[in-house]
């Protein structure tokens, strides 16, 4: 039996009906996860048991152990039945890959299987009130005390911190060297005494970002990832993983379950299977073509990475273009839906319309999170195009 046949048979036997045909949801997991649709939990457990929530991670740490070609087959077969991965989040896209590259064997065995199973929700402690784009100027301190570090400071824009179980965090462990050299990368449980979280409400009405306060938070030294005072190296690599992940949103359909073509046929009109308005039709086609071209470019870049492990500075290009593509998708959704995408509440709007309104507002942060577009342009100019400082 070929691998494709094996995957197809397994999906047929194990993917619940409500997780197919574009109906599948996704969860960030964690100790406080809830599952309004019980079949999402069934789907997560079955995929995790196979290691296919992290299909290319080593099987020794709970992953699927697939090579790139096998991973492509899995993705193709999942798309064929209209399902998606039941688990997402920073564990899979950011800290997991960083631990595979920089973590100790003890750290890998402690954290990676939990990420695969969706047991832990992770958040990121990078930015501070006075350290945004100049991240290396961070001031949160970790002072050595026996077998621990005692951490004091605060982090801001910590996405999902109010739901998270663990944080990966950049802290200053040596204030007497250059700002890039005295930073360490450390992990800690959000239930550790001294950790408190305050959500920040956005214009979208949601509070996905938070400020996190760290007051005498005691963390074991064994939780430092990589070399002491060399956390900038780990932190930069993780940013490349993050930017690659954020860039991937450019090729997505609307989270409401409707793609642009379906939205246009519903709100503009359907003319024998085509979008009735020619201008709208042209805009949707152009966006779809650039989506396909962008997706193929991302895939080609991945296949050119022989090691299959770490992203390159191209992650900045993907982050820049992918986020702009996502913003264009939602701007075009606004053009298509008209006043139906300007509602905030009330009986005159469907839930998916209100959801798209909030998604459109939320998309304005795409060009800031994970490093601003200006930062990405700087990286592209210096590291890819080789332009002088």
Which positions are catalytic? 242
Three-state secondary-structure class, residue 314: helix
370: alpha, beta or left? (left if phi > 0; alpha if psi -120 to 50)? left
Question: In residues, how long is the chain?
Answer: 389
Contact 87, 33 (CB under 8 A): no
Using the structure block, give the residue that is written with the tokens 């469907």.
350
Q: Are 261 and 284 in contact (CB under 8 A)?
A: yes
DSSP reduced 3-state for 357: helix
Q: What is the largest CA-CA distance in the chain?
A: 74
- CA nearest neighbour of 7 among 89, 93, 79, 115: 79
What kind and span of H or E run contains 149? strand 148-156
- Residue-by-residue DSSP string for 357-386: HHHHHHGGGTTTTTS-HHHHHHHIIIIIS-
Distance CA(76)–CA(5), nearest Å, equals 12
Which whole-number Å values give the CA distances from 301 to 27, 244, 289, 339, 341, in the listed order? 28, 11, 18, 40, 36
């Amino acid at each position: 039996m070929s691998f494709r046949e094996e995957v197809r048979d397994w999906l047929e036997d194990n993917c619940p009906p409500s997780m197919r045909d574009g109906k599948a949801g996704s969860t960030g997991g964690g100790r406080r996860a809830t599952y309004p649709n019980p079949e999402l939990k069934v789907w997560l457990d079955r995929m995790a048991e196979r290691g296919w929530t992290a299909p290319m991670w080593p099987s020794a740490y709970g992953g699927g152990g697939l090579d790139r070609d096998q991973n492509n087959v899995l993705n193709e077969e999942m798309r064929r039945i209209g399902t998606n991965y039941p688990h997402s989040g920073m564990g899979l896209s950011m800290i997991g890959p960083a631990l595979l590259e920089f973590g100790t064997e003890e750290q890998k065995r402690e954290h990676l299987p939990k990420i695969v199973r969706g047991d832990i929700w992770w958040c990121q402690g990078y930015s501070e009130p006075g350290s945004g784009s100049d991240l290396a100027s961070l001031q949160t301190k970790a002072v050595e005390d026996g077998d621990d570090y005692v951490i004091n400071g605060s982090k801001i824009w910590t996405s999902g911190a109010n739901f998270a179980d663990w944080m990966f965090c950049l802290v200053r462990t040596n204030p007497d060297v250059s700002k890039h050299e005295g930073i360490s990368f450390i992990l800690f449980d959000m239930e550790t005494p001294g950790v408190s979280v305050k959500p920040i409400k956005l214009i979208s009405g949601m509070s996905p970002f938070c400020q996190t306060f760290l007051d005498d938070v005691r963390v074991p030294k064994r939780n430092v990832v990589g070399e002491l005072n060399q956390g900038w190296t780990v932190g930069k690599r993780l940013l490349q993983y993050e930017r690659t992940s954020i860039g991937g949103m450019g090729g997505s359909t609307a989270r409401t379950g409707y793609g642009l073509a379906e939205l246009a046929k519903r709100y503009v009109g359907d003319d024998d299977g085509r979008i009735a308005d020619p201008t709208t039709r042209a805009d949707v086609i152009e966006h779809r073509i650039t989506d396909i071209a962008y997706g193929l470019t991302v895939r080609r870049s991945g296949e050119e990475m022989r090691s299959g492990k770490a992203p390159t500075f191209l992650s900045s290009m993907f982050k820049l273009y992918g986020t702009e593509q996502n913003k264009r998708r939602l701007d075009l959704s606004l053009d298509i839906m008209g006043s139906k995408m300007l509602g905030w509440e009330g009986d005159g709007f469907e839930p998916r319309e209100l959801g798209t309104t909030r998604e459109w507002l939320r998309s304005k942060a795409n060009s800031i999170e994970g490093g601003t577009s200006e930062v990405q342009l700087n990286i592209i100019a210096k590291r890819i195009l080789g332009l002088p400082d």
